[in-house]
Amino acid sequence: MTRGPQLLNYDVVVAGGGPAGSTVAALLAEYGHSVLLVERESVPRLHVGESLIPAANDVLSRLGMIDEMLASPFPKKYSVQFVTESGRESEPFYFDGFQSTGPGHTWQVIRSEFDRMLVDNARRRGATIMPETKLRAPDGPSGSFEQLDLCSSDGSAYRVATRVFVDATGQSALIGSTLGFKQVDPVLRNATVWSHFRGAHRDAGRDAGATIILNSREKKSWFWYIPLPDDVVSVGCTGALGYMFPGDGESAEQVFQQELDRCPPLQRRLAVAERIEPYRVTKDFSYKCRPGAGAGWVMVGDAYGFIDPVYSSGAFLALKSGEMAADTINAALISKDLSPERLGSWQATYDVGVENFRRLVYAFYDMDFNFGRFLARFPEHRGRVTDVLVGNVFKPDVELMFDDVSAELVEPGQ
């Protein structure tokens, strides 16, 4: 006699153990709902998105994790600095004095450790965690997530009934990919090559943990430079997909070295450094999924959408979307209204903040736009630029600078 799958029942099933999924799971469990968090990989796992921005501190505070972050070995990040294609370094954009900075800084994190901390926090708050477990997407064009089939790494099978399914599957975007909702950004069709190095140069004092954004010559590409614990830095290079990988024969190492040769300031920082991880590649990673909610399901974090990494918005937006979704799901469960309109009611507000990030990303990639020139012409916007870098993208007056940004460039797609 064949044994069938074990039958389980939860108020909420969350697929994905990254920042978005762990936040949803922790907060909904704290509200008193039964929550199952399913993660297909083991935790911890290596991941990009290592640089937090200060607005993330609000969500971390609500999760009760600030003391844990302060006790961690993660370097403190007090600022962001830009280096032009000619090698000129900007004054750092310090976070001190801006809303949502909490202790006046945020952190550069090892994502495997940070994600583990978030998952452990969800477990402490009452969520059930199932790592190394695969979830099978429902058959059919419309998708129904009221009943889910799971298979763990030891071969155990489960059938789970749930009232709400939360897609937090990151860039694989389970629902968006399965139902055809994933739309690649027509402008930000980029590729990134990244790795970790040990022994690279670091600035002194509170600048030691700063994120540095360095343009290569002619602004064909840009590099991130993110200090991590144990004398390690994360370095990634991003550029247009067709420029970075024009054919099929380029290796990740060749592309990285080609662009490093065009960025003398980064060459100096990496002069005596040793690469300790293989090169990794991500392509075509700017997209959105619409609609973002359906009957009994909702997308959060990268499963809902992702924009370019230049302003380190990814982890913050994952945390913030998880928080906003959790509050909305809680109210929906109490009211027994699990309609798409109710479950997705937080997304319009969230989309405004994402749009503020996106418009400044477009400015960054415009060959004729220069932040130094822009702020010299419009010094009243320096605080608003820093607001975006801090993550205060939901403030109404942030949008006021974009008319003047448009005076400096023609926005892509217009």
Identify the CATH number of the domain in which residue 174 sits.
3.50.50.60
Same domain, 172 and 222: no
Q: Could you tell me if 294 and 238 lie in one domain?
A: no
Q: Are residues 40 and 155 in the same domain?
A: yes
State how far the Cα of 223 lies from the Cα of 216, in Å rounded to an integer.
Answer: 8
Going by C-alpha positions, the residue among 153, 151, 146 that lies closest to residue 135 is 151
Contact 52, 109 (CB under 8 A): yes
Answer yes or no: are the C-beta atoms of 133 and 40 closer than 8 Å. Answer: yes
Kindly report the length of the chain: 414
Query: Cα separation of 115 and 65, whole Å?
Result: 12
CA distance linking residue 31 with residue 49, whole number of Å: 28
Same domain, 126 and 21: yes
Query: Which pLDDT score, from 0 to 100, does residue 368 have?
Result: 80
Whether the CB-CB separation of 183 and 290 falls below 8 Å is answered with yes
Instruction: Quote the CA–CA distance of 266 and 247 in Å, as a whole number.
Output: 26
pLDDT score recorded for residue 373: 85
Asked whether residue 205 falls in the same domain as residue 172, the answer is: no
Say how far apart CA 410 and CA 390 lie, in whole Å: 25
Within a domain: residue 412?
no
Instruction: Tell me the CB-side half-sphere exposure of residue 406, using CA atoms within 13 A.
Output: 10
Contact (Cβ atoms closer than 8 angstroms) between residue 218 and residue 239: no
Final residue in a domain of this structure, among 262, 283, 304: 283
Q: Which residues contact 140 (CB under 8 A, 6 or more apart)?
A: none
Residue 64 φ/ψ region, left for φ over 0, alpha for ψ in the -120 to 50 degree band, beta for the rest: left
Residue 315 domain flag = yes
Picking from 352, 368, 398, the residue at the C-terminal end of a domain is 352
Identify whether 389 is part of a domain: no
Q: How many CA atoms lie within 13 A of 109 on its CB side?
A: 33
The greatest distance separating any two alpha carbons of the chain, rounded to the nearest whole angstrom, comes to 78
Here the tokens at position 19 are 């920042």
Cα(176)–Cα(289) distance, rounded to whole angstroms?
6
> What one-character-per-residue DSSP string does 160-193 give?
EEEEEEEE--GGG-HHHHHTT-EEE-SS--EEEE
Same domain, residue pair 36 and 121: yes
Which residues pair with residue 128 across a beta bridge? 36
How many contiguous H segments (helices) and E segments (strands) does the chain have?
14, 21
Residue 151, strand partner residues? 134, 157
**Residues contacting 258, CB < 8 A, separation 6+:** none
| Per-residue model confidence (pLDDT) at position 97 | 64
Yes or no: say if 295 and 340 are a contact pair by the CB < 8 Å rule.
yes
Measured CA to CA, the distance from residue 278 to residue 346 in angstroms comes to 39
Rg (CA), the chain: 21
Q: Within 13 Å, how many C-alpha atoms sit on residue 228's CB side?
A: 23
Q: Which CATH number does the domain housing residue 211 bear?
A: 3.30.9.100
| pLDDT tens, the chain, 414 aa long | 456 789 999 999 999 999 999 999 999 999 999 999 999 988 667 778 899 999 999 999 999 999 999 999 999 999 999 999 999 998 888 888 665 556 789 999 999 999 999 999 999 999 999 999 999 866 644 567 899 999 999 999 999 999 999 999 999 999 999 889 999 898 899 999 999 999 999 999 999 999 999 999 999 999 999 999 999 999 999 999 999 999 878 899 999 999 999 999 999 999 999 999 999 998 867 899 999 999 999 999 999 999 988 899 999 999 999 999 999 999 999 999 999 999 999 999 999 999 999 999 999 998 888 888 888 899 999 888 888 888 999 988 888 898 898 877 654 444
Task: Report the SS3 class of residue 410.
Answer: coil
pLDDT at 1: 43
The total number of structural domains in the chain stands at 2
pTM (2 decimals)? 0.94
> Residue 413 has what pLDDT?
42
32 and 152 part of one domain: yes
Instruction: Report the pLDDT value the prediction gives residue 142, as an integer from 0 to 100.
Output: 54
- Does 393 reside within a domain? no
Q: Are 16 and 113 members of one domain?
A: yes
Indicate whether 394 belongs to any domain.
no
321 membership: H or E segment, kind and range: helix 314-335
- 236, 225 contact by CB (below 8 A): no
Q: Which domain holds residue 21?
A: 6-74+109-184+286-352
Q: What are phi and psi of 50, to 5 degrees?
A: -90, -10
Q: Which residues pair with 197 in a beta bridge?
A: 233, 275
Q: Contact, 281 vs 252, CB < 8 A?
A: yes
Q: Which of 261, 283, 305 is the last residue of a domain?
A: 283
Beta bridge mates, 280: 194
Domain check: are 178 and 211 in the same one? Answer: no
For position 143, what pLDDT does the model report? 62
